[in-house]
Amino acid sequence: MSMLEINEVSISFGGIKAVNGVSFSVEKGEVFSIIGPNGAGKTTVFNLISRFYNVDQGTIVFEGQDLTTVSTHQVGHHGIARTFQNTELFEHETVLNNLMIGHHVHRKTNLLKEIFYLPQVRNQDLDFRKNVEDVIDLMDLQNYREQVIGSLPYGARKMIEIARALCMQPKLLLLDEPSSGLNPEETEDLSFWIEDITEELDITVLMVEHDMNLVNQVSDRVMALADGELLAIGTPKEIQEHPEVLRAYLGN
């Protein structure tokens, strides 16, 4: 059974079918990329999976569980983390706090215990902190720990966005255009990180991307969308030579 199964999913926004009958599945441990021209519905698919939108038709099944009616904040608890195209970080907080918030899904204490700050709460926070430090080491963010997000450059923010998602210790990581706005060197680093994530942390990656080099370098399989419809699924090489895909990108 695949880790994530999307079946005939459709959604319309006021008459425009943003996603129309799209089906695909993501296997555990792979890096699956979604490509397509602008307006193809790629981010909409993400928003459907992370339950920011409701599907009009179709089902989304994650590890055998139907996500189609789960509420938005429950998705994180199922083991799915995501990043956003225009980074949605907590602007007034330090990087460290942002990453600690990423651990919220693992919280075992309740309000009353926290008000009295029982030892259990402190130990939990120390555990969270250790995990956060591991992620910081992985992503090389040591210099940024105490800095407030608002003062950081764009490239650093993108990295922190990914780091924060990693703190959730997810099984599936949704990356929305991770390389947009990054220079070639940063994109190179990104490709290494994605490889590290899948191999060392055993996380499956589902990625929306425009940068074809990055897609070719890290992906196991690629899906091409255009105008909300599925064009093709295959290996990066197959997709690059697929006539439909070429037509969508380059015209007739």
Partner 1 sequence: MEVAQLLISGISQGCVYGLIALGFVLIYKATEMVNFAQGDLMMVGAFVGYGFVVLWDWPFILGVGATLTVMAVLGVVLERLIVRPMIGEPPFAVLMLTIGLGFVLRSVAGAIWGNEPKSVPAPYAGEVVHIGTVSVGMENIAIVLGTAVLCTLLFVFFRYSRIGIAMQAASQNQLAAFYVGIPVKRIFALVWGLSAVISAVAGILVAPVSLIDPNMGFVGIKAFAAAIVGGFGSLPGAIIGGLTIGIVEQFAGFYLPAGWGDTSAYIILLLMLIIRPEGIFATMQKKKV
Partner 2 sequence: MRFVLKTRYGQDLDHFKHNGQRFWYGLLGAVVLALPIALSILHLDYFVGELTFVYIYAVAGVGLMLLVGYTGQVSLGHAAFLAIGAYAHVYFLKSGLPFAVSILCAGFLTAIVGGVIAIPALRMTGIYLAVATLAFSRIVEQVVGHWDSVTGGHRGTSVPDVNFFGISIFEPLVLHFVVLVILVFILVGALNLLRSPTGRAMIAVRDSEISAQAMGISLASVKTTAFAISAGISGIAGALLAHHSGYVTPETFTILLSIELLLMVVVGGLGSMQGVFYGAIFVVLLPTVIAFVRDYLPDDVGQMPGLQPGLFGLILVLFLVFEPLGIYGRWLKIRQFFSEFPLYRNATHKRQKTYLRTERVR
Residue 250 interacts with, from partner 2, partner 1, none (CB under 5-8 Å by kind) = none
Residue 153's φ and ψ, nearest 5 degrees, are -70, 165
43, interface contact from partner 1, partner 2, none, CB < 5-8 Å by kind: partner 1
E strands, 36-153, in order: 57-62, 65-66, 80-82
Q: Does 83 bind partner 1 (CB under 8 A)?
A: no
Closer residue to partner 2, CB minimum distance, 98 or 191:
98
3-state secondary structure of 198: helix
Cα–Cα distance measured from residue 242 to residue 148, given in angstroms and rounded to the nearest whole number: 45
Q: Is 89 in the site for partner 2 (CB under 8 A)?
A: yes
How many residues interact with partner 1 (rule CB under 8 A)?
Answer: 7
Exposure string for 151-173, b = 16+ CB within 10 A, e = fewer: ebeebbbbbbbbbbbbbbbbbbb
Q: Going residue by residue from 112 to 151, which x/- string records binding to partner 2, judged by CB under 8 A?
A: --xxxx---xx-xxx--xx--x------------------
Interaction of residue 102 with partner 2, rule CB under 8 A: yes
- When binding is defined by CB under 8 A, the residue of 37, 39, 61, 84 that contacts partner 1 is 84
Stretch near partner 2 under the rule CB under 8 A, chosen from 8-16, 77-85, 203-211, 212-220: 77-85
Burial of 9 (0-12, 13-18, 19+ CB in 10 A): buried
- Cβ-based neighbours of 67, under 8 Å, separated by 6 or more: 49, 51, 60, 61, 75, 78
AA identity, residue 91: E
State the residues that interact with partner 2 by CB under 8 A. Answer: 50, 52, 71-77, 81-82, 84, 88-93, 96-97, 100-105, 107, 109, 111, 114-117, 121-122, 124-126, 129-130, 133, 164, 168
State the residues that interact with partner 1 by CB under 8 A. Answer: 43, 47, 52, 84-86, 88
